[in-house]
Every structure is written in structure tokens, then in C-alpha cells.
Structure 1
Amino acid sequence: MAANVIIAGDCGPAHGPEDGFPVGGYIDLIAPTLKTADFRLVNCMRTYSTSAAENSDAPQVAQPIAMAELYMQAGFDGITMANNHAFDAGPQAMLDTVKLFRARGIQVTGAGRNFVDASAPVILEKDGLRIAYLGCTSLGKPDGAATGTMPGVLNIGVNTRYEHRGPHAPVRILTAPDENDLMHVLNVIRELRPVVDRLIVAFHSGVIRVPRVVSDYQVTVAHALIDAGADLIVCHAPHIPKGIEVYKGKVIFYSIGVFAMTKPFAAPSWSEPAWSQGAIRNHMDLHPDYPFMPYGTDSRFALLAKAGFDRGKASRVSFLPLYFDQRYRPQALEGGDPRFKEVVDYIEWASVDMPHTFSIEGNEVVVTA
């Protein structure tokens, strides 16, 4: 009664056949790896609809319906749409996308017609073993959080305050989840826990592009989710990998990076003084070899989270180091590849001070306390 699950990060290329990028081409190198799992899960960062509202801030979000074929070709069983882009093209485009995936046999979590719909998990079953995958975010639009009567995403708001320590020291940024929002999500977890054997939560959260930094609210929420009954937390949003923590024997990936993403332009922030004058640029910059993945140098690699679940045994959690070629295709690296060590060393660096142990077993990195 064992089941293997692979969880991928942010997905949603903005370049298609007309740009010289066949839709299925993005998974050419990773398809054999995906097929080794019983189930495959991913975060969808785009909408696929003919009813998309115009949005000048993120025009890459509204994609032609044909681009959604990527998810079917990759064999994804479940998708989370709880993220900062699900509502960009308007509520109808979001709902159309949910309907599209469900009609194609892919379950969706994290977004829907109302709170109940958005908080419905993906349920995976094999040989009597029931696994739930629930999507939530702390990056939802102000008007894009699902309510009892309004469509949106399953969102946990964040309260931010600043501790000023004078001109000689950096300002400390303190963040905490909205208590009411967190309580609603924890109640979903508690109600779900008794009817499933394992529970994975996809938590779209974190500081984008900046390496290593994990926000206070992420830790608070991740720990609370585990305390409420979650078995594994997989975060994404920063577009680069971040640290891994083992809390009460359960693994938290604070960001696994992207899976298949392109964007035709860099973020406006790269031209702001804090970036161009070096405050952030000292740590990262755009990579000239990846002009359509303008998320910083560290976005050239990522992780696939992997979990082996068995009703009578402890869960086995690992990650597969990925690297992208210049066609933006992710590929799982082999243990002897120098890039494999580069990714593992990076994650060790990002995980400093977080309880964890990494053990290399073949082409996987097993995570334990």
C-alpha cells in the first residue's frame, strides 16, 4: 500500500509554438522522471480562458487555452491554483481554468467559486491509501480571496510591521499571518485529517527572487499547518529554491523554485535604485543565458519534492535537483553530475540553522531530522 508522489513548483510558460517553443517541449527532458511516480502535483501560475480581463501588470498570466496542454502531457493528477496570479486576469478566467482542468481529468485545489470550493483538496488514492493535496497562499490579491459567496483563492493574509533601528542598521521586517485567515485554513486541515492517510499542503508564499531569506510568517504558518495535521509542506513563489526544515519529524520545503516558467520581460524592480545600486544586486542578478526566465541567477536550477507514503511506515521525503537548459526545459540531474553537487551545496547553504539532514541516495537527496 505504498505510493510515490512528485510535487513540482511554479508552472506556466508564456512562450508557445509561435515563439518557437512547442508546448510539449518543456517536458521533453523531465517526462521520464515524472512517469516514475504514482502521482504528480504542480502549481499553475497562469489562466487559460477566452474571458481574460486585461491586466497591464502581468499580461503573461492570460494564456491561450492551447498552452494548458502542457499539464495534460506531463500527466499531472492535481494542480494548486492558490497563488498571486490566479486572479490577475479576473475571476471568470480563474474559474474557466479550474473548469478546464477538471474537465480534462485533473483535480484542482486552492481556487474556486467560493471558500468551500477553493478549500476542497485533491484526493489521490492507491490500494486503499488516501493522500490529500491542499493549496493555500499568502500572496492572494486583496479582492481575490475566496469567501462564503465570492470566488477566489484560499488565502492567509499577512500583517507586516517594521522595526526601525536607526540609520546605522537595517530595518527589521516583521511579518505574521492574519489570525482569522489562518484559523479558517487550520480548520480545513483538522476536518480533512481524519479521512485521509497523508496530507500535503502547497503553500504559495515567500520573498521573490531574494536568496536564502525566509519570512517570519512562512515559518509560523508552516509549523501551524503541521501542528494541525499536515504531513508535508511544499512552498513555492520566490522562483528560486530556498531552505528545507524538519519540524516535529515533518519536512518543510520553503521554496522548490520553478518547474516550467517563462516570462517575456523582467520585473520593473530590477530598474529600481535598491536593485541597480547594489543593495540586492550584490546577491543576485539576471542570468544572460536565460532571458525568458528573468527571476535571477539562482532560478537556473530548482527542485522536485518527492514523497513515499505507506500506511504502516514513516514517510520518506526527498528532493531531485533540477537544472534548466537554454530551451527552459527542466531535467533531473544524476548524482555524478557536477551540477547535482552545486544544487545540493546551495540548498545546504540556504538551510543553515534549520534542523535537517541530507543524505544522497542515487539521484535523490533524502531529507531527515
Structure 2
Amino acid sequence: MTVRIAAVGDIVLQQPETEKLFEPSSAILRAADVAIGQIEVPHTTSTETTGITVPSPPAEPEALRAMAQAGFNVGTTAGNHAFDLGTKGVVDTIESAAAYGIATTGTGANLAAAAAPVVTSVRGRTVGVLSYNCVGPRESWATSLKAGAAYVKVITHYELDDANPGNPPTVYTFCDKTSLRAMTDQIAALAERADVVVVALHKGIGHTPAVIADYEFEVARAAVDAGAGMVVGHHAHIMRGIEVYRGAPIFHGLGNFVTVTDALTPDADNDSEELRAWAKRRRELYGFEPDPTMPAYPFHPESRNTAIAVIDVDEENRVRPAFIPCWIDEQARPTPLTRGEGDSVVAYIEGISRAAGLMTSFSWAEDGKAVVVS
């Protein structure tokens, strides 16, 4: 019997009445045996800020009820905001998700707990899920004595190709071997006891659709080599390319799903100096302004192209990857699209995949409800 696993990108629930934002997609998510979403920010009553850049404000613990009601039963939590609200933020998020039936992986009271997988049995098979943060900051990392996220440390090297000081350097990124080995050892151990392993990686260059950094290929392919049957990425808040490596799909970035917040829209009267500075720097780095008609969705206009990743696992544990294209509508609702209405989203995903050097094939399934990836 086939087991279906669905996964989406970042979920941010920092506005009221988020239940309605899942309405267009909930039937698809509930139909999956395992539905995985990235819980991007801490859900806690704590207001103690520990972030060093622009920390996320807390989301209401009760907001996770909407995520559960939509059909999610697994939440990945390793990410750059994991420790923004300290140990209480980490623990409250895990406990609140569990209270609504969402099992989490990626954060914990210490590194061993953060690296513990979710393992669930469905239709006589076991599905294991692991979650790792690849984008820092260092303060987000768990240790043997500190709460936080499971992680892979990434090193950035800048090389000036000529002798002209101040010229733009060539940037090289690669994984620290010790933390990469810790990840692959954990995946291999999980693959020994699970029929299919899904690995979630918080990675990528923010708000940048087509560029996939060197380390992203390294860490994602290492996960597959260690036994992952599916790799899903998030963090960039915009769709990124898709590849198939050794038969396993790598969704390098699933972009936004339900992401509603006012934390990224500066208010001259109320917001911090750091947030105003970040809004200015965001314009300089990424060259976009959010749509002023969607104040709760302060992201790149192209990020409204998104997708639900889907794999069907057959009786012999062979994986058939696909995705369901979605468009984030004016109410910030990810809305699944079928053949015809979703062609522009598929063309967008194929375009950014090609721009990243990926020669993946995309074709509509016979029922016109999903795009098969090969």
C-alpha cells in the first residue's frame, strides 16, 4: 500500500485567525499520511529576547492549533529563530505543538534532544524525520548543556580574485566536516529502523530564488548518501530549484506556506532601530519592496509562487516525487492549483531550477493535480 508524505516550507503564524489561511490547502494536507511543516518562530508566552540580530517576536502557542487542524502531524523546528526567545521559547514551542498532536524534531533542551527524530508508523511502514539548521546564528545551536537547534556548521570563504581592494570577492561555502558527519551518522542510524527518511534543512540565501550555494548541494546530497529518501529545504522565504539525486528528490527551498507577520514591516513610531536598519538593508541586499496591499505578507513578490512537495512511497519503498503548485493569494492563503491554472507556477519553478543548473524534468500527472519530478 502506498504511503504519501507531504511537506511545505516556512510557517509563521503571528496574526489572528490563521485557521482560514489553511482552508484552501487543508484537504490535500489531511489526505497525506504524514504532513510536515517548518515551524519558523517560537510559540511561547516568553518575551525574553536572546537573538543577536533582529529576533522574532513570539507567536501565540494556541496558533499551532490551526496548523494541526489543517492536517500537519510533524513540525520541523531547527532554524535561525529557534533560540530567539531563549530556552523557554524552545520548550514552549515543542510542548505546545505536542498538545495539538504535532510531533517535532530539530530543537530540544540539549543537542541530543534536538537531534532526536520523529518516527511514526503508517500503513505498516515507518517514516522518520530529522531537522537541521544550516544558517546560524551560532546562538541558535544546541549544545550538551544548552537548548537550541540541531545544526550543520557552514563555513564561508571570501577570495579576492584581483589586487584591487574593495572589489567584490568570490564567495565559497562548505560544511564543517565534524557537524556534517554528525548529521549523516544520525540519518544513517535512522535509516536502519525507518522505511523512509525525510530530512529538513534550514538553508539558503534569503529572498533569492535561483542561486543555490555550494554548501547546499553538499549538505543535501550528503543526506541522501546517508539514507534520506527526501530532502526539503526552507529559510529563504522564496521557492528554489528542485533536483533528483540518486533517485531521491531534493527540494532546495519550498519557500513560504502560511507566513503572516507584522514583525518585518517597520513602523516608524514603534519599531526598534535594528528593525528599521534591517528593512533598509533588505532593500539593498535583495532589491525588493513588499506589496503594500499585503502588509501581513512582507516578502518578495515572487515568493507567492510556492508548492507542496509530495512523495508516494510504494510497497518496496520506492519513492515517486511530485509537487502541487500553489499561489499565495491576496489574503496570504497558499492555494493549490491544477493543470492550466498552475502552469505559470510550474514554469517559474522550472525556470529557477534551470537557472541553478538543474536539469530536472517536470510533467503534469495524468489527473492534472500534481507535477511529477524526475
- Same fold by TM (over 0.5)? yes
Q: What is the one-letter code of the residue matched to 1:93?
A: G
1:309 is matched with: 313
1:19 is matched with: none
SS class of match (1:240): coil
Whole-angstrom distance in 2 between the partners of 1:86 and 1:325? 28
When residues 43 and 291 of structure 1 are mapped into structure 2, their CA distance, relative to the original with a 3 A threshold, is: same
1:341 is matched with: 343
2:103 equivalent to 1:107: yes
1:53 is matched with: 48
Deviation string 1:294-314 (CA, Å, 9 cap, x unpaired) is 221111121110011123152
SS class of match (1:35): helix
Contact 1:54 1:89 in 2 (8 A): yes
Q: What is the one-letter code of the residue matched to 2:295?
A: P
Contact 2:46 2:58 in 1 (8 A): no
2:358 equivalent to 1:354: yes
Contact 1:243 1:348 in 2 (8 A): yes
When residues 58 and 269 of structure 1 are mapped into structure 2, their CA distance, relative to the original with a 3 A threshold, is: closer
Q: What is the one-letter code of the residue matched to 1:335?
A: R
2:134 equivalent to 1:130: no
Q: What is the one-letter code of the residue matched to 2:76?
A: T
1:327 is matched with: 331
The structural deviation recorded for 1:178 is 1.3
The structural deviation recorded for 1:130 is 0.7
Deviation string 1:188-218 (CA, Å, 9 cap, x unpaired) is 0111111011001010100000221111111
Structure-1-length-normalised TM-score: 0.91
Matched residues, number: 356
Larger deviation, residues 121-130 vs 254-263: 121-130
The structural deviation recorded for 1:58 is 4.3
Deviation string 1:124-171 (CA, Å, 9 cap, x unpaired) is 212221111111111233122122232111011111111212469742
1:367 is matched with: 373
1:190 is matched with: 188
Which ranges of structure 2 fall in alignment gaps of 5 or more residues? 266-274
Aligned residues with identical type, % of pairs: 30
The structural deviation recorded for 1:54 is 3.1
1:145 is matched with: 141
Contact 2:24 2:334 in 1 (8 A): yes
**Aligned-pair Cα RMSD in Å:** 2.0
Whole-angstrom distance in 1 between the partners of 2:257 and 2:228? 23
* Aligned ranges 1:1-369 → 2 under 5 Å: 1-16=1-16, 22-54=17-49, 58=54, 60-166=56-162, 170-264=168-262, 265-266=264-265, 268-272=277-281, 275-276=283-284, 280-281=286-287, 284-312=288-316, 314-337=318-341, 340-352=342-354, 353-361=357-365, 362-368=368-374
Whole-angstrom distance in 1 between the partners of 2:68 and 2:248? 30
Which ranges of structure 1 fall in alignment gaps of 5 or more residues? 17-21
The structural deviation recorded for 1:350 is 1.0
Q: What is the one-letter code of the residue matched to 1:351?
A: S
